[in-house]
């Protein structure tokens, strides 16, 4: 996972968003606020593939820790706000990523898939009630409050697919 950023709820994450910043206010995976790294890790978990490297800002490293504990986490920029970051020089960032990738490959024999406990629940808080209403039309997605929907399951790929489908449906509301 290269060039990730903090999720929409991350404090001081440059360009923070979780899939669709015009629709999503917050996402939780089994009660933990997450960004795109944890959601994408559901796909890796389905395929039993370890994620051994993640790069991005400090919010990315923090968000990834509970779900990708064995991944090398490389912080290449320090977010100062949502619109500003202190970035490493590209040569230095590449050096750090190369070193971490080498360590990750050296440890691949001990690697584990993402640490996401199943069954898992995804909770999405939207910016508007209309988005939650539309999302709840999908089978298995329940509206739990004005702007919040949840869905649960044992199958990580199905959870990811449902999440992406919900996001695509809500895009229709913000793209008009």
**Contact between 2 and 53 (Cβ < 8 Å):** yes
| Euclidean distance between CA atoms 158 and 94, whole angstroms | 35
Assess whether pLDDT exceeds 80 at residue 175. no
pLDDT in tens, 43-77: 999 999 999 999 999 989 999 999 999 999 999 99
| Euclidean distance between CA atoms 160 and 122, whole angstroms | 9
Assess whether pLDDT exceeds 70 at residue 40. yes
pLDDT in tens, 107-154: 999 999 999 999 999 999 999 999 999 999 999 999 999 999 999 999
pLDDT in tens, 3-26: 988 877 777 777 778 888 888 999
pLDDT the model gives residue 116: 97
Omega within 30 of 0 (cis) for the link into 119: yes
Q: pLDDT band at residue 83, thresholds of 50, 70 and 90?
A: confident
Q: Which residues contact 51 (CB under 8 A, 6 or more apart)?
A: 1, 41, 44, 68, 71, 114
pLDDT the model gives residue 90: 96
The radius of gyration of the chain from alpha carbons, rounded to an integer in Å, stands at 17
pLDDT the model gives residue 149: 98
Residue of 25, 22, 1 lying closest to 168 (CA atoms): 22
pLDDT the model gives residue 176: 56
Q: pTM for the whole thing?
A: 0.91
Long-range contacts, stretch 88-97, CB < 8 angstroms, 24+ apart: 93/55, 97/2, 97/53, 97/55
Assess whether pLDDT exceeds 60 at residue 79. yes
| Euclidean distance between CA atoms 101 and 109, whole angstroms | 14
The tokens describing 170, both together, are 């809500």
- CA 18 vs. chain centroid, Å, equals 7
Domains of the chain (ranges; CATH) run 24-174 (3.30.1360.130)
Query: 29 pairs with which residues across the strands?
Result: 32, 122
**Contact between 61 and 73 (Cβ < 8 Å):** yes
Query: 152 pairs with which residues across the strands?
Result: 121
């Amino acid at each position: 996972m290269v060039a990730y950023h903090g999720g929409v709820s991350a404090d001081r994450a440059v360009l923070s968003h979780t899939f669709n910043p015009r629709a999503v206010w917050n996402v939780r995976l089994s009660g933990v606020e997450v960004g795109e790294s944890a959601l994408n890790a559901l796909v890796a978990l389905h395929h039993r593939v370890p994620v051994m490297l993640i790069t991005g800002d400090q919010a990315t490293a923090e968000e990834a820790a509970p779900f990708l504990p064995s991944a090398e986490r490389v912080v290449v920029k320090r977010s100062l706000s949502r619109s500003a970051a202190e970035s490493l020089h590209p040569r230095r960032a590449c050096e750090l990523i190369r070193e971490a990738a080498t360590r990750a490959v050296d440890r691949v024999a001990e690697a584990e898939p993402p640490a996401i406990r199943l069954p898992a629940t995804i909770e999405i808080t939207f910016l508007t009630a209309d988005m939650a209403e539309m999302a709840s039309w999908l089978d298995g997605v329940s509206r739990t409050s004005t702007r919040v929907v949840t869905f649960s399951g044992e199958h990580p790929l199905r959870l990811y697919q449902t999440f992406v489908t919900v996001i695509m449906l809500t895009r229709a509301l913000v793209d008009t």
